[in-house]
Amino acid sequence: MSNTAPRSTLATLDRPIWTALTTRQAHLGQGDALARRYHPDVAPFAALASETPEAYEALHHVLQPGQQVALLSLTPLAAIDSLHVNQVGTLYQMVAMRDDTQNADVSDVIRLSAVDSPEMLALAQKTKPGPFGPRTHEMGNYIGIRDQGRLVAMAGERMRIDGYVEISAVCVDDEWRGKGIAGRLINILRKEIAQRAETPFLHVFSNNTTAIQLYERLGFETRREFLLYRLSHADASVNTA
């Protein structure tokens, strides 16, 4: 895959969570110079300054008993004394490499805000696009479509780092699928991101072939593979249902 962005800029995409939590989204997180996480109501993600015993111990202290976080790694994680480590799967990081947004229809698209949070959360829980909490909407701009007042589709921005914005929470109610809505919402967000001189990217499970094919049709290309892990206190029982 070709990409003319500077190597130093692309390197931030190798550590998107840490970069976001130490720069543009620091206000949404908690932790210290070794380990940081998003506020639990915002997102379940955490990251380390480096994968060292000291950093993992710092992450252990950031977590409350019964809490768990998701962590991305380029390499398999070894056993960690103070934390339960479970591999969830493999994620593809995809970056928009061409602009297909000129004809995005915005006629019925609305802006979503804090007042829409309960409906956004309900739609995410129904369609399961990935982690979504009561304050996830604070991470960036969210848009959606209503049918007779009911929220039936949405998409928004999640991690934000210099030069890049992640598109996430792309979900459409079952009754409205097959109408091209997901692609349209993605293209609207892409156009807005590009107008800010930023590049859209996203993450998708490697086995989600339907979504990957959609993103490829929209001009996204796979840049990197990550291993996704769930980490929790080794001395606490966690309900992962």
Give the model confidence (pLDDT) of 86-114 as tens digits: 999 999 999 998 776 667 788 899 999 99
Domain residue limits, the chain: 7-93+226-233, 95-223
Same fold, 7-93+226-233 and 95-223: yes
Backbone angles phi, psi at 60, to 5 degrees: -55, -40
Distance between the two ends of the chain, CA-based, in angstroms? 38
User: What's the CA gap between 157 and 199, in Å, rounded?
Assistant: 12
Q: Which residues contact 221 (CB under 8 A, 6 or more apart)?
A: 1, 94, 95, 97
* Sheet of strand 35-38: strand arrangement: 29-31, 35-38, 46-48
Task: Output the pLDDT for position 77.
Answer: 92
Mean pLDDT of 208-219: 94
Q: Which residues contact 222 (CB under 8 A, 6 or more apart)?
A: 1, 92, 93, 94, 212
- Pull the structure tokens for residue 240: 């992962």
Overall fold of domain 95-223: Aminopeptidase (3.40.630)
Give the model confidence (pLDDT) of 138-196 as tens digits: 999 999 999 999 999 999 999 999 999 999 999 999 999 999 999 999 999 999 999 99
* Widest distance between CA atoms in the chain: 54
- pTM equals 0.91
Angle at 46 between CA 200 and CA 159, to 5 degrees: 15
Tell me if the domain spanning 7-93+226-233 has CATH number 3.40.109.10. Answer: no
